[in-house]
């Protein structure tokens, strides 16, 4: 399971792109806009934070609590429910915050301020996998939850220390630690989320996990449902049904999507030939690759590449 998870996160290219500290004195309310291919988290160091997501779902977190919003949804942060929020961009402009130091709002009141560490993770454009699709609307964790997951807790503590430090290399260290933190946060929440639990079961199921390993390790092989089923010792029908039930996609659908995910970083290499990329990810012709790519992403690979470079 670990290797498959590592492969998935390496392919979607999770990266921490922004970190900042807050010092918000009441009253305050901020609308954080929606971002595609992003995840965010907010860790309360002091005070309380009320969160309302675009769906209308609300929650509140206090000292030591963490909320992870894994699909980049718009949400409102405030000191209490009912505040009228202002857009984040407007507040940043008015406050003069330049991305360095602490993001301050209101008259600084050390005893009443909400102090948080906030982070923004980016995924590569087009990143897609059943694991990402199965992530819940949000994940919350209390200090007690983190205590049950020592690696997550230790990693988060290191991230916070680095955010509050100004030492050389802090930014690079935070980025690396953040990847571990995100992966561990997802792992720690699996038992609380049925959709995630199904993905975990697929990665631990003797037969299905083996088929995933084959797909991930030999992406350019001419796999069929029959050959995969034979490799893992199952009948075609039982294998296809079990695979689909656990991953929410059939074996060939999963294989096609994985091939296209593997193609995305290759397209970022300006000198790479489309035919060569097609061959590397399992397509015999550039035209077949182009059709599959355009069907998935709405644009042919050549145009997609031009927008990315």
CATH code for the domain of 280: 1.10.10.60
- Mark whether 148 and 186 lie in a shared domain: yes
- The structure's pTM equals 0.84
Strand, helix or coil for residue 200: helix
- Mark whether 89 and 165 lie in a shared domain: yes
User: Highest-confidence range of 40-44, 150-154, 236-240, by mean pLDDT?
Assistant: 236-240
Average pLDDT, the chain: 89
Average pLDDT, integer, range 154-166: 78
Query: Using one digit for the tens of pLDDT, what is the confidence trace for 76-131?
Result: 999 999 999 999 999 998 888 887 778 888 887 777 899 998 888 888 888 999 99
161 pLDDT band, cuts 50/70/90, is confident
The yes-or-no verdict on residue 276 having pLDDT over 70 is: yes
- Mark whether 187 and 246 lie in a shared domain: no
- Mark whether 125 and 244 lie in a shared domain: no
- Mark whether 20 and 151 lie in a shared domain: yes
Domain count, the chain: 2
Domain that holds residue 143: 7-192
From 166, 192, 218, the end of a domain falls on: 192
131 contacts 39 by C-beta, under 8 angstroms: no
- Mark whether 250 and 115 lie in a shared domain: no
The yes-or-no verdict on residue 215 having pLDDT over 80 is: yes
Distance of CA 228 to the CA centre of its chain: 29
Of residues 178 and 105, which shows the higher confidence score? 105
Q: What is the pLDDT of residue 167?
A: 62
Of residues 57 and 189, which shows the higher confidence score? 57
Q: Do the domain assignments include residue 29?
A: yes
């Amino acid at each position: 399971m670990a290797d498959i998870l590592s492969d998935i996160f390496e392919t979607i290219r999770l990266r921490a792109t922004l970190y900042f500290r807050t010092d918000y004195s009441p009253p305050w309310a901020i609308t954080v806009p929606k971002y595609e291919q992003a995840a965010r988290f907010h860790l309360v160091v002091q005070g309380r934070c009320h969160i309302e997501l675009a769906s209308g779902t609300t929650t509140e977190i206090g000292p030591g609590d963490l909320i992870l919003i894994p699909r980049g949804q718009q949400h409102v942060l405030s000191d209490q429910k009912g505040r009228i929020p202002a857009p984040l961009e407007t507040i940043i402009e008015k406050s003069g915050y330049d991305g360095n130091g602490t993001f301050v709002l209101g008259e600084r009141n050390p005893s009443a301020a909400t102090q948080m560490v906030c982070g923004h993770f980016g995924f590569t454009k087009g990143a897609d996998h059943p694991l990402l699709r199965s992530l819940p609307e949000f994940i919350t964790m209390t200090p007690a939850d983190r205590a049950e997951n020592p690696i997550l807790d230790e990693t988060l503590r290191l991230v916070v220390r680095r955010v509050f430090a100004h030492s050389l290399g802090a930014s690079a260290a935070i980025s690396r630690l953040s990847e571990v933190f995100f992966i561990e946060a997802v792992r720690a929440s699996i038992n609380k989320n049925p959709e995630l639990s199904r993905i975990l079961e697929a990665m631990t199921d003797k037969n299905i996990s083996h088929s995933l390993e084959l797909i991930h390790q030999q992406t350019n092989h001419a796999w069929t449902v029959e050959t995969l089923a034979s490799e893992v010792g199952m009948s075609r029908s039982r294998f296809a049904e079990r695979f689909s039930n656990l991953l929410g996609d059939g074996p060939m659908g999963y294989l096609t999507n994985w091939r296209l995910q593997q193609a995305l970083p290759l397209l970022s290499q300006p000198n790479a030939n489309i035919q060569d990329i097609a061959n590397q990810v399992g397509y015999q012709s550039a035209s077949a690759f182009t059709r599959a790519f355009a069907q998935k992403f709405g644009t042919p690979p050549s145009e997609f590449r031009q927008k990315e470079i």
